[in-house]
Amino acid sequence: MSYWCAATVVDGIVTRAVRITAGTDGRIVDVTAGVPRRDDDIALGVVMPGAGNAHSHAFHRLLRGRTHGAGGDFWLWREAMYAAAARLDPALYREVARAVFAEMLVCGYTAVGEFHYLHHRHDGAAYAEPHAMELALAHAARDVGIRLVLLDTVYLAGGIGAPLEPRQRAFGDGSAEGWLRRWHALDAALPVDGLVTLGAAIHSVRAVSRGDIRTVVDGLPPHVPLHVHVSEQPRENAESLAAYGLSPVGVLAEAGALGPRLALVHATHLSDADVAAVGAAGAQVVICPTTEADLGDGIGPARRLADAGARIALGSDQNAVVDPFLEMRGLEAGERLASGRRGCFDPAALAGAAGAGGYAALGLGPHALAVGDHCDLIEVDTGSVRTAGSALAQLPLSATAADVRRVVVAGRVVADGGILVGAGDGAAGTAGTEPATLLRSAIAAVDGVAAREESR
């Protein structure tokens, strides 16, 4: 399949009249600039690499527009999150995730890292079908055609030195060794199709002890991307210092986790020593600007982390907002508010965090519309009320998800004008569907479960 692009924007460089050809494996086999369109080319306008959503909790989307009236903080919001999690089973989770992944796809995300810890029944018992919840997510991604890195998460404690709370039992596997056994079995059970791959995550130093972190690191293949929530809240830092005499970053370093394959999610409340350690280790950092703003988490030291040597990626996290352009602008806006100056991250760096940074954090390799890269790209409307007059290289600071026209994943068009196209067998059930239709149906189904609970 060949795409003729009026222009591509990669690393801030605008190139005109570009033909991108994808092979049967969905990777780019040829890129030629300055060429006329051929009759067999699919014509696109301005094209950018698709965004890689490096941190998502799909089911948190159920809380959008429902947790803002009472104020509060992260810890109050978490109560509503637990209630939403308790209403999901594999069939319902597939429906919810399919809707959320569809929304991501039409908004410009071509890949998503799902930080997944809803492993078991609500009482902690295993489902009859092994890996039922994990397979639900894999099927949901294939249903719509988005690239998924399933970040299967180890979650063993309800706080440092504390057992899981009753409402957290679905998250646990008993021990780090138990989680590793399940992870390796899941790795063998996931069909190999190039669209869904398996990664790993440590929920946090609150939920996994120092010794168990070491066990997880030693038990995973070295190529597997590893993610972890770090210092999202000051309370996490205080508890870690009280228990270990170390910050969460210090705990990860001591346990052998801190290195190039590790992606630290949030990293909002870091000391200068933490920043230096993360940068020196060449670790990756996933900033989630819209979530961190929505929950009142704070503004993280993204610019200082980048200057220290960390690679920055972006994620939608709780999916209160699904828009890679707003995450890009949120990254820059936070730095402007904290520093009092503009241009902390230039447009090329913002696009790189959303695209190449996200793909790197997910272990998906380079992502620059070059030969050998995944053919995952988006076409952006440059004549809308938001983008008219914008310099093409500055689209990250003017466009929104509403300006995403066509979306290509693995060399095939999977969304066009906000509608799922249905490229490939996995998407057949959603062809021609608007994500809003899927979202309304999924939310209504979850609300039905809640209503039945309340009537008992």
Catalytic residues: 266, 317
CA 303 to chain centre: 20
Burial 345-365 (b: 16+ CB within 10 A, else e): bbbbbbbbbbbbbbbbbbbbe
CA distance 397 to 391: 10
* Separation of alpha carbons 440 and 202, rounded Å: 32
Beta bridge partners of 6: none
Which among 392, 336, 361 has a CA at the least distance from the CA of 51? 361
For residue 355, CA distances in Å to 111, 123, 358, 394 come to: 9, 39, 5, 15
Q: Where are the alpha helices (DSSP H) in 368-455?
A: 435-455
What residue type is assigned to position 89 of the chain?
D
Distance CA 8, CA 20 (A): 10
DSSP-derived secondary structure letter, 170? G
The torsion angles phi and psi of 446, rounded to 5 degrees, stand at: -70, -40
Taking alpha carbons only, the member of 59, 95, 133 closest to residue 440 is 95
Can you give the three-state secondary structure of 263-325, one letter per residue? EEEECCCCCHHHHHHHHHHCCEEEECHHHHHHCCCCCCCHHHHHHHCCEEEECCECCCCCCHH
Q: Which residues, in sequence order, are CB contacts of 162 under 8 Å at separation 6+?
A: none
Complete DSSP assignment for 118-161: --S-TTSPPPSSTTHHHHHHHHHHHHHT-EEEEEEEE---SBTT
Beta bridge partners of 22: 28
For 319, what's the count of Cα atoms within 13 Å in the CB-facing half-sphere? 28
Is residue 220 helix, strand or coil?
coil
